[in-house]
């Protein structure tokens, strides 16, 4: 039988402090792991596109927005001098660029893809200009806020109904609901 008197003498506050410290120490590792998994998630679709030599009616925008998000946060990592974020977002930029190149190669409508990529390139160039000319704290705010809003808008895009009809169909299949750990990593740096 359990002696309930012993449970009353346990210092639960120290256990709570240990649990809190452990969970706070694990957040960056969870962020790194989720970033790497998120970067590798489109690989099966890209393999299918390469084998079929066709886009298989998969939409362009998820690949584009992933590359754009990675580029925005790479600029943010550069401004904040965050080596962990630089590493994970560099992987994202490399893989995102590869995904775009494969998709573009087999796309039948290259004009639309070129317009989106030119717009994304302009956004990244503007943010790089801010990063190069503004004070680091101000530049981090100007780059980090749009980046965070971009992540949240992507997370909500597939779920939010429009006034004119059903939800916006940016994705061929619903995206996994992944907590944006990159945002947490930026805040906790």
Distance CA 169, CA 171 (A): 5
Taking the chain, what is the end-to-end CA distance rounded to the nearest angstrom?
A: 47
Please state the rounded mean pLDDT for residues 100-109: 93
For the ranges 13-17, 20-24, 72-76, 184-188, the one whose mean pLDDT is highest: 72-76
Better pLDDT: 40 or 30? 40
The total number of structural domains in the chain stands at 1
Q: The domain containing residue 167 runs over which residues?
A: 4-188
Helix H or strand E encompassing 166: strand 165-167
Helix H or strand E encompassing 178: none
pTM, entire model: 0.70
Q: How is residue 147 written in tokens?
A: 């980046």
| pLDDT value at residue 182 | 45
| pLDDT value at residue 53 | 94
CA atoms within 13 A on the CB side of 130: 20
| pLDDT value at residue 34 | 85
- Find out whether 58 and 45 touch, Cβ atoms under 8 Å: yes
pLDDT at 63 over 80: yes
In the chain, the percentage of residues whose pLDDT exceeds 70 is 75
pLDDT band at 105 (very low <50, low <70, confident <90, very high): very high
pLDDT at 144 over 70: yes
Give the chain's mean pLDDT. 79
| pLDDT value at residue 3 | 66
pLDDT band at 90 (very low <50, low <70, confident <90, very high): very high
């Amino acid at each position: 039988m359990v002696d309930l008197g012993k449970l009353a003498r346990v210092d639960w506050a120290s256990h709570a402090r240990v649990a809190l410290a452990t969970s706070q120490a694990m957040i960056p590792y969870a962020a790194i792991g989720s970033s790497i998994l998120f970067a590798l998630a489109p690989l099966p679709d890209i393999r299918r596109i390469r084998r079929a030599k066709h886009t298989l009616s998969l939409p362009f925008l998820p690949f584009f927005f992933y590359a754009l998000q990675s580029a925005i946060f790479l600029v943010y990592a550069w401004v904040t001098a965050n080596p962990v974020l630089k590493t994970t977002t560099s992987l994202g930029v490399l893989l995102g660029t590869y995904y775009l190149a494969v998709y573009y190669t087999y796309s039948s409508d290259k004009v639309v893809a070129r317009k989106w990529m030119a717009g994304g390139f302009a956004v990244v160039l503007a943010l790089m200009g801010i990063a190069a000319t503004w004070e680091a704290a101000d530049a981090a705010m100007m780059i980090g806020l749009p980046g965070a809003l971009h992540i949240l808008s992507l997370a909500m895009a597939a779920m939010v109904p429009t006034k004119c009809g059903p939800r916006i169909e940016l994705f061929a299949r619903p995206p996994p609901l992944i907590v944006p750990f990159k945002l947490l990593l930026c805040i906790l740096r």
